[in-house]
Amino acid sequence: MAEASKVIHIRNVGHEIAEADLLQLLQPFGAVSKIVMLRAKNQALLQMQDIHSSVSALQYYTTVQPSVRGRNIYMQFSSHQELTTDQSSHGRNSDQDSEPNRILLATIHHMIYPITVEVLHQVFKAYGYVEKIVTFNKSAGFQALIQYQSRQEAVEAFGALHGRNIYDGCCQLDIQYSNLSELQVHYNNDRSRDFTNPSLPTEQRPRSSQQGYPDPGGLYAFQQPGAPYAQMGRAAMIAAAFGGTLPPGVTGTNERCTLIVSNLNTDKINEDKLFNLFSLYGNIVRIKVLRNKPDHALVEMADGFQAELAVHYLKGAMLFGNKLEVNYSKYPTITPAPDAHEYTNSSLNRFNSNVVKNYRHCCAPTKMIHISALPQDISEDTILTHVSEHGSVVGTKLFEVNGKRQALVLFETEEEATEALVSKHASSLEGNTIRISFSQMQSI
């Protein structure tokens, strides 16, 4: 084992992991004095203020696996006893590395959607009063200067937002402190704004159509300023569906969409059955059972949050006698191929409509299934005949909601209910394509 050092060497630091993520893991053990991200190697070096802090951190993380944004990372003492100033420049030129200041310089990477002053204001105002914003294009890409009323507000914004995405999977914020003392704003328009002086002229020009892009006004739903993550995108709608807060253990910050599912029963599983199960937690893009490892499959979800829900609720679930392992894949997507089943345009994807209701119904497998889209004249006996091959049915209930026939079927175990769901969801019953989900009701 390496000699104890103030410097901790961290491996498996993916591109989605920001400095702030690592700081949150290690600051509970003491002050972090320096950090350098080795992006090309997926590594980082982080120097604690003293050896006692670094020893305490590594002792703790030998018993608890550190994980950031769903990715396991690995720590050990570095062979460096000290990081030099050059090393700890965070990968920037030394003349760009400035002391904390109330003005931030933000560079936007992977800018798929246009970023305007309105968008930036929505993002940064969660951390304090934004006085001015100026945007411009440089060789580094699209950049913006954001001036806060106080330095403390800028420091909070830097800590919360550096390395985050404005939109899901793109428009990543790379933030540093500016060495300017005051921004000069001459016009209030979509490229610059002085929020302290609304009477400035607009210098209006025709604005290009942004049809087809997300509406910035509805995109940002932040957690409380200063919270570990500023979750953007559809977070407000999703949190509302879960009763105001995300389920315990769900961060809402994962961006990886592809899952690896293992320990499958190779005699009974196929892509459509996996679709029926995983589509409970989000829309499915494609699924591929691995021919060289037939008890493994890749499942690509529509976005990282839906993938996180699937991992959260299905890890360890029993299906066809096997305990499922569900983890994030190292592959960002599943390449279209003859052996990869395509579901992008499937009408059976549940989250094409009633999105809030579908999130509300997300849960781990239960003993009870809910069946909808039933024929109006269906009988309980017909339903029982359709699903009873999958296990012991304890009870059934047929009822009507808004004139539509629905049913609850209670099995003896969660595994039996799961088998019925994966086998009979989207099956035909007396000419109707029925829909099955888990019910969170405890009894009929």
- The domain boundary, picked from 359, 392, 426, lies at 359
Residue 60 belongs to some domain of the structure: yes
**Which residue range(s) make up the domain with 23?**
7-77
- The domain boundary, picked from 177, 194, 211, lies at 194
**Structure confidence at residue 301 (pLDDT):** 96
Residue 199 belongs to some domain of the structure: no
Residue 251 belongs to some domain of the structure: no
Q: Answer yes or no: do 355 and 408 share one domain.
A: no
- CATH number of the domain within which 272 lies: 3.30.70.330
Q: Answer yes or no: do 374 and 349 share one domain.
A: no
Residue 238 belongs to some domain of the structure: no
Q: Answer yes or no: do 344 and 374 share one domain.
A: no
**Structure confidence at residue 92 (pLDDT):** 38
Q: Answer yes or no: do 164 and 115 share one domain.
A: yes
User: Which positions of the chain have pLDDT values less than 50?
Assistant: 1, 86-97, 204-233
**Structure confidence at residue 38 (pLDDT):** 84
- The domain boundary, picked from 359, 386, 414, lies at 359
Q: Answer yes or no: do 119 and 180 share one domain.
A: yes
**Structure confidence at residue 334 (pLDDT):** 95
Residue 175 belongs to some domain of the structure: yes
Q: Answer yes or no: do 319 and 372 share one domain.
A: no
Q: Answer yes or no: do 426 and 351 share one domain.
A: no
Residue 150 belongs to some domain of the structure: yes
**Structure confidence at residue 220 (pLDDT):** 35
Q: Answer yes or no: do 326 and 399 share one domain.
A: no
Residue 231 belongs to some domain of the structure: no
Q: Answer yes or no: do 124 and 185 share one domain.
A: yes
Residue 96 belongs to some domain of the structure: no
Q: Answer yes or no: do 54 and 129 share one domain.
A: no
pLDDT tens digits, one per residue of 306-336:
999 999 999 999 999 999 999 999 999 999 9
Strand pairing class (297-301; 170-177): unpaired
**Structure confidence at residue 237 (pLDDT):** 55
Q: Answer yes or no: do 336 and 262 share one domain.
A: yes
pLDDT tens digits, one per residue of 342-396:
999 899 999 887 776 788 889 999 999 999 999 999 999 999 999 999 999 999 9
Total domains present in the chain:
4
Q: Answer yes or no: do 349 and 262 share one domain.
A: yes
